[in-house]
Structure 1
């Protein structure tokens, strides 16, 4: 029984860790006024008939705080990358000079910063909901074990451990959100 309980606890912590990793990935996509190549993650280019991430068909580099340079490995990909960025609707219009694309990030207004903070808070809330759902599933598994013969004390201890792990991960979400808000609100 305790092996199954340990497995449930380990699986719960691992899955909650994945929820935090997802939150970190989503927060990097929310731009904070600084150019970051990860802003282009998730944008796929039509590369000879198959959707391919931009970073697999071009060099992406940050020229300065507000400029990203995209230099395709094949010159004929320039137009396809430009179309993909426009279709992704990330709020930036690429500048094509025939050799490379440049993305100039406009400075963020106070209103836009607040919108981005709300968006980050929404992502954080999604992560918290996911973590709570993981907790609920883990507690249900513990209750099934209790029906199969696990002692009531062991079940209560396991539920307390699951709650402690949940609290730890929820506070981690709050820390990530606070750091992102501080980054976004810095002028």
Structure 2
């Protein structure tokens, strides 16, 4: 039998994880500016297993529109270049000796609009996840009331707290999505 405090704590932790997952998802959406985290989802074959590029090369920024990738081992350059080229990021790296330069092509207006839709969709999914967690916590509270483990006042207080927590998380999600849209639309 769990207490209202445990229900509250569990719901808050899970909602925070949903917001963190959204933050990570938004990080993957490409803007006109370069950032090293952009290549995190690109995997390259390394001794028979697929690993993220950051585990076989040093990924850093040369300037606002160029990422540099410096493989740690000779011979990995071609594999890393191929992995970046074949990823769905639409990037075209160029090799200069061992160093790979990955220029960020400017985004078209149409592509920017598509990316804002992707960001909004991710935000909506995060809101649905948060609301589902609220529903689960509310059902749990109602079950405790039905089992006479808590009184009606405690149940009402817990439901109100869950609503406030949900509202706070939704505001944070909206803020993250709006910031990402601003980033995408900035020319």
TM-score, length of structure 2 as denominator length: 0.94
- Residue 69 of structure 1 aligns to a residue whose secondary structure is strand
Moved over 2 A (4+): none
- Residue 20 of structure 2 aligns to a residue whose secondary structure is helix
CA distance in 2, matches of 1:87, 1:126: 28
For residues 96-122 of structure 1, give each alpha carbon's deviation from its aligned partner in whole angstroms, at most 9, with x where no partner exists.
233121111111121111111111111
CA distance in 1, matches of 2:123, 2:143: 30
- Residue 108 of structure 1 aligns to a residue whose secondary structure is coil
Show structure 1 runs of 5+ residues with no match.
none
Is 1:72 matched up with 2:71?
A: yes
Is 1:96 matched up with 2:90?
A: no
CA distance in 1, matches of 2:108, 2:176: 22
Matches within 5 A, 1:103-142: 103-142=102-141
TM-score, length of structure 1 as denominator length: 0.94
Matches within 5 A, 1:18-167: 18-149=17-148, 150-167=150-167
- Residue 41 of structure 2 aligns to a residue whose secondary structure is coil
CA distance in 1, matches of 2:103, 2:5: 51
Length, aligned pairs only: 186
